[in-house]
Structure 1
Amino acid sequence: MRFQTLADWLAWQETLHPKSIDLGLSRVKTVYGRLLPRATPLFTITVGGTNGKGSCVAMLDSILRQQGYRVGTYTSPHLLCYNERIRIDGRPVSDELICNAFERIERVRNKTTLSFFEFGTLAALDIFATADLDVQVLEVGLGGRLDAVNIIDADAALIASIDLDHQDWLGDTRAAIGLEKAGIFRPGRPAVIGDTDVPATVIRYAFEHSMPVTCFGRDFGYEVFDEGWNWCGRDTQLTALPLPALQGNHQLINASAVLELLQRIEGSLPVGESAIRDGLRLVSLSGRFQYIPASVPVLLDVAHNPQAVKVLADYLSSRFDGKTIHAVFAVMRDKDIHGIIYNIKDLVEHWYLAPLEMSRAATADQLSAVFDSLGVATVRSGFEDAASAFDAAQQNAESGQLVLVFGSFFLVSEILAHIS
């Protein structure tokens, strides 16, 4: 074997390709054809979206497993360990399984370059191919049309939301980004969109390519009451459902899209109402409105674009109204930093800029310039690392106040590891 440990494999993969992101399917499709030339097709659900895709994958996984199906999920990025990306029946697979998959990929790769994400995608597909699964649920990494998971023709696909993010790769309008995400749809196969304002270009694209698309607000939706909620589809209703265990009102939109997709594939993967109820109650997902109770409680969220931060701000307003909030913050410099800070600045009393050892991360000086432009004065920087920024926030916060950690998956990952 080329490397003996998962850490060594991952470190090598980070140096293998000259670009961290290299959208396109030709290279990864070539290697996949060599790796699994006679693979038996697995029922595949592909999930994309600007925000909410991780939550949708988690709910699909939870409900399908409650029905008794054997489910493989592939997601990214991870929070605490790489193995989280590849799960079977809710559990991360072992280092040994991943290393063996990497070795098989390396044997057939020849001189084809693969990115870090492409290596991981192929490893997940390789592991799932021999795991006796009923269904694999694949989360898009970036966009959809040219993302590595799109080498698999999905039997059904879901787009959770469409908004501005990764504009350098996907386009600078919701219409353009929506078309990139709609690339995971296939003619004649169920396509579900959970966005509340679907661009007309996406609807037209689906119609022109005979993709039977259903949309939130037009074809399905929900109504909420004190103890639960009702889901309404074209021909079906589910009443008095338990609220999803994932926090935030926006999760009802995600859950609605998930239930619509399950209705659309009931001929292949029938799911009973009891499995839906239990799956919603038991679903879990780290880093999404994750609350850690204490005298100074901590809330962690991976919100990293203006849309997600607006959802976070709404949640803070409803759940922590009147509380003093200390925010530990880091973000990648290619994000809409102005829009992110603008959407939450009125709720945060004190800011702590957490340094990340990544070339993509915005520096304290870059962030300070944005805070200055928005008239935000209570900003602290100069910390040795993210953990030091978090510790400072906890020390300065008084009992009953809140420490918020948000802005980047990488920041939430570091703080979760620090807390652990």
Structure 2
Amino acid sequence: MSTTDNPLEFSHLNQWLAWLEQAHSIHNIELGLERASSVAAAMDLSNPSAKVITVAGTNGKGSTVAAVESLAISHKLSVASYTSPHLIAFNERIKINGENCHDELICAGFKAVYQAKQDTQLTYFEFTTLVALWIFKQQNVDLIVLEVGLGGRLDAVNIIDCDVAVVTSIGLDHEDWLGSDLGQIAVEKAGVARRGKPLIIADKDTEALLMPPCESVGAIPWLADRDYKTRVDAKYWSYTSTALAIDFYELPLNDLYLQNLAAALTAFGYCFQELLNKEISYAATYKAFETLSVMGRFQKLSNNPLIIIDVAHNPDSARLLNSKLAQLKEKGITRIIALCGMLKDKDTDSCLELMTHVDQWNLIDLPEPRGKKASELLQSLPQLSQNNVKCYASLEEFNESSQQSPSLSDADALVVFGSFVTVGLFVEYWNKEGFAWI
């Protein structure tokens, strides 16, 4: 398909996506708000009637968005969310009440943006952000949750003024665009906050980094362990907020990072405090967290045998994943087998060095041009780990080779991690083909 095809004649989502990738490649990044702002204004998308929560951060954005989404649904509110990237289907990026948006509505959004943009050249992410905002306007939802794609201050979602902003963490990732100065990265993340509105700082260790840009923006800092606190025991966690006068006791634990759940509850509480101050909210909040899971975030794809998928692809997320693996070993898992594939622009040396609880490594090539070869990943492994590693050209080759090996035992865990591409390919293969050796 060439870019000269008339998009207004497209009837299928895959046609729109193929056209978008050709005309506005996903790899072409041009940060800035002017282009998307002008088209949003033309489409009357700039001032949603819904409450808006914008989530930025190096790691933890996806679980925070999912937690806010679940809280809204359990409190019987309508909620829309926009996230990126996707694992398998583009529809995962745009959700209404927790469900992937259907093809027909997304196609209508593509058509509306295409007609409105006229000669404005949009990037891939700008185009899809406008599609999402158009869909959310049609649905007339109570709450919109926007996940920053890259940075924050100049990210396309920042054309919308949020009611409350969340910064989940500050770390190194996308260094080609954001640099390696944590202070400057904090400025970019805090750029999603608005004057007179709360900026929730979910990680107390980032307070020193985020307070200066927060003050510069004129936002109101809400700090973890100061304005809201959590406590954990063996089975439950509790939440107390001085800023919101809200207390919750014995909320259910799950495998998601607690600081992100607490930040989500704080953001939701600010937008809908009148709901959380009712007694009925305790049951709704408990329900929101009871079964909460996020695709690709320490997600258990299978319990017997234990298979976990995680999109950890930078040092901070690798460190967190490794701590989760340590907990598995405390619970009786004796051997952790890793399947890993990563992209060239990631700090693979630091990521793989941090994964100290992996006992056996399987490395796979990812597709060019961004994918790294398994042989290159091998060089990132510590010397001791290189004695127990196998390299594969593809997931299919890994599957075929594994059929000759013993199946996973009850004391084993397979952890699939690295790029979204790696996890997405594995899940797609799992759903379509299955693995005969498991």
Does residue 177 (structure 1) correspond to residue 151 (structure 2)? The answer is no
Q: How do residues 113-152 of structure 1 correspond to structure 2 at under 5 angstroms? A: 113-152=121-160
After TM superposition, the structure 1 stretch with the greater mean CA deviation from structure 2, 114-123 or 176-185, is 114-123
The separation in 1 between residues aligned to 2:399 and 2:170, in whole angstroms, is 32
The separation in 2 between residues aligned to 1:391 and 1:78, in whole angstroms, is 27
Deviations 1:104-148 (A, max 9, x none): 111122222222222211110000011021111111111101111
- Matching residue's letter, 2:251: P
1:290 deviates by: 1.4
Deviations 1:28-71 (A, max 9, x none): 11222222268653321111111111101111011111111110
Q: How do residues 9-88 of structure 1 correspond to structure 2 at under 5 angstroms? A: 9-17=16-24, 19-36=27-44, 40-88=48-96
After TM superposition, the structure 1 stretch with the greater mean CA deviation from structure 2, 179-188 or 387-396, is 387-396
Does residue 412 (structure 1) correspond to residue 384 (structure 2)? The answer is no
Q: How do residues 249-264 of structure 1 correspond to structure 2 at under 5 angstroms? A: 251-264=257-270
Q: How do residues 166-245 of structure 1 correspond to structure 2 at under 5 angstroms? A: 166-234=174-242, 236-245=245-254
Secondary structure of the 1:197 match is helix
The separation in 2 between residues aligned to 1:201 and 1:161, in whole angstroms, is 10
Which residue in the other structure is 1:359 paired with? Answer: 369
Given the alignment, which residue of 350, 353, 362 partners 1:339?
Answer: 350
Does residue 155 (structure 1) correspond to residue 163 (structure 2)? The answer is yes
Q: 1:146 to 1:190 in 2, by over 3 A?
A: same
Does the CA contact (< 8 Å) of 1:64 and 1:275 recur in 2?
A: no
- Matching residue's letter, 1:405: V
Does the CA contact (< 8 Å) of 1:352 and 1:393 recur in 2?
A: no
Which residue in the other structure is 1:280 paired with? Answer: 289
Does the CA contact (< 8 Å) of 1:72 and 1:88 recur in 2?
A: yes
The separation in 1 between residues aligned to 2:187 and 2:346, in whole angstroms, is 20
Given the alignment, which residue of 7, 11, 29 partners 2:14?
Answer: 7
Which residue in the other structure is 2:436 paired with? Answer: none
Does the CA contact (< 8 Å) of 1:73 and 1:87 recur in 2?
A: yes
- Matching residue's letter, 1:379: V
Deviations 1:305-360 (A, max 9, x none): 1111111111111123452122111111111111100100x322222222222411
Given the alignment, which residue of 310, 317, 328 partners 1:308?
Answer: 317
Does the CA contact (< 8 Å) of 1:69 and 1:135 recur in 2?
A: yes
- Matching residue's letter, 2:19: W
Does the CA contact (< 8 Å) of 2:214 and 2:220 recur in 1?
A: yes
Does the CA contact (< 8 Å) of 1:39 and 1:129 recur in 2?
A: no
The separation in 1 between residues aligned to 2:247 and 2:400, in whole angstroms, is 46
Secondary structure of the 2:387 match is coil
The separation in 2 between residues aligned to 1:133 and 1:391, in whole angstroms, is 47
- Matching residue's letter, 2:250: L
The separation in 1 between residues aligned to 2:235 and 2:392, in whole angstroms, is 47
The separation in 2 between residues aligned to 1:187 and 1:167, in whole angstroms, is 28
Given the alignment, which residue of 93, 96, 101 partners 2:101?
Answer: 93
The separation in 2 between residues aligned to 1:394 and 1:154, in whole angstroms, is 51
The separation in 2 between residues aligned to 1:82 and 1:37, in whole angstroms, is 22
Aligned-residue identity in percent: 35
TM superposition score normalised by structure 2: 0.89
Which residue in the other structure is 1:298 paired with? Answer: 307
TM superposition score normalised by structure 1: 0.92
Given the alignment, which residue of 410, 414, 426 partners 1:403?
Answer: 414
Does the CA contact (< 8 Å) of 1:221 and 1:253 recur in 2?
A: no
1:17 deviates by: 2.8
The separation in 2 between residues aligned to 1:303 and 1:190, in whole angstroms, is 28
1:366 deviates by: 2.1
Given the alignment, which residue of 369, 372, 378 partners 1:368?
Answer: 378
Corresponding residue pairs, total: 415
Q: 1:136 to 1:394 in 2, by over 3 A?
A: farther
- Matching residue's letter, 1:264: Y
The separation in 1 between residues aligned to 2:36 and 2:372, in whole angstroms, is 31
The separation in 1 between residues aligned to 2:127 and 2:400, in whole angstroms, is 36
Q: 1:149 to 1:137 in 2, by over 3 A?
A: same
Gaps of 5+ in 2: 1-7, 432-438
1:285 deviates by: 1.4
Q: 1:98 to 1:358 in 2, by over 3 A?
A: farther
The separation in 2 between residues aligned to 1:294 and 1:62, in whole angstroms, is 23
The separation in 2 between residues aligned to 1:24 and 1:180, in whole angstroms, is 12
Which residue in the other structure is 2:272 paired with? Answer: 266
